[in-house]
Chain A
Amino acid sequence: ETGVTQTPRHLVMGMTNKKSLKCEQHLGHNAMYWYKQSAKKPLELMFVYSLEERVENNSVPSRFSPECPNSSHLFLHLHTLQPEDSALYLCASSQETGVRREQYFGPGTRLTVT
């Protein structure tokens, strides 16, 4: 148990559906991250929020929309996804204290787009 929870753990959705992934951290951290992990590829950083402001957005398609209402919660809203978006989506949090932040990961949401 790392102190970062993600729901749901598994999600199957059609290309016309709208769904949201939720991440919650209980560590008092002030930064949160969304990563995508596709089969046999390195982790891809999608979004970074620091102090509830988005500070990084790695050219992610607009069908992925993040939301960070407070420092403990992070959402990833999904709409009109493509089958290639099927992947493991990981959330992480860290305490921004300079250059050596260490991230704590949630268990991930396994997303399948049909």
Chain B
Amino acid sequence: GESVGLHLPTLSVQEGDNSIINCAYSNSASDYFIWYKQESGKGPQFIIDIRSNMDKRQGQRVTVLLNKTVKHLSLQIAATQPGDSAVYFCAEKRGSQGNLIFGKGTKLSVKP
């Protein structure tokens, strides 16, 4: 069936290193993608989004890359900090009024 999934369920990085979190999606009709950060016991927090007509978008310390050929999405966090420790979810959306479909999540642990 259609799904959004993640390659790595857990990721441990050293403080100051760059982090890369990957996500695969299966529906080529998806045209909008979002990364969310969720800290323990809290709701998801919007990080960055990208539309299907783009292949890269940068924010503050974060970059999202979209490869539609292989249906792959990644989130890069530069100079990872302890405060970045959380679970990261990718989500896809189909059409302007479509519902978000969440991937399984990757837990990022940052070692000081």
Question: Are A and B associated in one complex?
Answer: no
**Chain B contact residues, CB within 8 Å of chain A:** none
**Chain A contact residues, CB within 8 Å of chain B:** none
